[in-house]
């Protein structure tokens, strides 16, 4: 059967997007999802996202990593699905939707999407790194020589090492440019490689840098390999609320396979 798909990217984190409001897509076919994401034999993407009907919000988002498995929240995917929902005529300039980590609000202004993330109340500050969950689990560590790092090798060791083991964590390497600007490179679980950007990752980095005192600001710019993202937040007694991930989300092409 022919499958109509849409390819989106948000700061270079790219996704195969499928309108599954008619529920035709076989979600159990992990091999096919991995095939569609394969960059040599398939369409090529860091993940695949289904847009589905929802009883009380504008739509539901279902996210799969490039390995074919359903996973936790994808921040850049969440921004891209807003652009997709607008393209399909489901929403205008604002929306609410449900994802695996709960309900989200978002707005879109031309190609710039602002996505509200879940509140974060648990942040583990270890000596060498910070660990927190921004919808997906993230290990965050500061590095002096970010450009020289072998992200695939180092990220793989941390992702599969203790205490994360098989379940794993995404791994973010960070360098500080100014008090409001940090560079980030991310090894993504489920892609098992560096991606050009990770939305839940840069959100984790912004909160972690504030938490450990590297910044006192609450609007942070994150330079990823695929472009700039902004994260704003409010500090509360036990963590952070009103967290927004802001940046571009673009349709690359539409096709059939
Ligand atoms: N690219 C995503 C993160 C997707 C989930 C991640 N690979 C995981 O399995 O935890 C983002 O933009 O947040």
| pLDDT per position as a tens digit, 20-46 | 999 999 999 999 999 999 999 999 999
Residue 145 shares a structural domain with residue 178: yes
Report how far ligand 1's centroid is from the alpha carbon of 16 (Å): 14
Closest CA to 249 of 66, 95, 67: 95
Torsion on CA atoms 226, 232, 236, 242, rounded to nearest 10: -100
Residue 147 shares a structural domain with residue 236: yes
Q: For this structure, is 37 an active site residue?
A: no
> What backbone phi and psi angles, to 5 degrees, belong to 245?
-110, 125
Pocket test for ligand 1, best of 8, 73, 185 (most atoms within 8 A of CB): 73
Instruction: Specify the pTM.
Output: 0.97
Q: Which CATH number goes with the domain that contains 216?
A: 3.10.310.10
Residue 16 shares a structural domain with residue 53: yes
Q: Count the residues in the chain.
A: 257
| Mean pLDDT for all residues in the chain | 98
Dihedral sign from CA coordinates of 169, 107, 45, 219 = negative
Residue 152 shares a structural domain with residue 229: yes
Query: What is the number of domains present in the chain?
Result: 2
Of ligand 1's listed atoms, the one at least distance from the Cα of 188 is 7
Residue 180 shares a structural domain with residue 87: no
For residue 143, give its domain range.
Answer: 123-246
Which tokens go with 59?
A: 């739509």
Residue 105 shares a structural domain with residue 128: no
R_g of the chain, CA atoms, integer Å: 17
224 pLDDT above the threshold of 90? yes
Residue 127 shares a structural domain with residue 97: no
pLDDT digits (tens, 9 = 90+) for 91-132: 999 999 999 999 999 999 999 999 999 999 999 999 899 999
Which tokens go with 212?
A: 């450990």
Residue 74 shares a structural domain with residue 142: no
Residue 20 shares a structural domain with residue 91: yes
1 pLDDT above the threshold of 90? no
Of ligand 1's listed atoms, the one at least distance from the Cα of 200 is 13
Q: What residues flank ligand 1, with Cβ below 6 Å?
A: 13, 46, 65, 71-72, 74-77, 136, 170, 188-190, 198-201
Residue 172 shares a structural domain with residue 217: yes
């Amino acid at each position: 059967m022919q499958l109509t798909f849409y390819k989106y990217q948000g700061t270079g984190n790219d996704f195969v997007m499928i309108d599954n409001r008619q529920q035709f897509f076989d979600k159990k076919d992990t091999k096919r999802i991995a095939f569609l994401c394969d960059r040599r034999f398939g369409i090529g993407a860091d993940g695949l996202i289904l847009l589905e009907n929802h009883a009380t919000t504008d739509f539901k988002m279902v996210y799969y990593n490039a390995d074919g498995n359903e996973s936790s929240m994808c921040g850049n995917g969440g921004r891209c699905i807003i652009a997709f929902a607008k393209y399909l005529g489901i929403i205008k300039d604002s929306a609410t939707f449900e994802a695996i980590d709960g309900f989200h609000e978002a707005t879109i202004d031309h190609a710039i999407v602002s996505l509200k993330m879940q509140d974060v109340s648990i942040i583990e500050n270890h000596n060498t790194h910070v660990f927190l969950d921004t919808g997906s689990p993230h290990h965050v560590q500061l590095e002096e020589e970010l450009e020289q790092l072998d992200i695939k090798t180092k990220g793989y060791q941390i992702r599969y090492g203790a205490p994360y083991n098989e379940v794993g964590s995404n791994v973010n390497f960070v360098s500080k440019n100014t008090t409001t600007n940090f560079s980030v490179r991310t090894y993504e679980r489920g892609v098992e490689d560096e991606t050009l950007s990770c939305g839940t990752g840069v959100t984790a980095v912004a909160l972690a840098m504030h938490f450990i005192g590297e910044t006192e600001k609450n609007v942070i710019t994150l330079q990823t390999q695929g472009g700039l993202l902004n994260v704003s937040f409010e500090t509360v007694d036990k963590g952070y609320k009103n967290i927004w991930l802001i940046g571009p989300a673009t349709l690359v092409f539409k096709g059939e396979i």
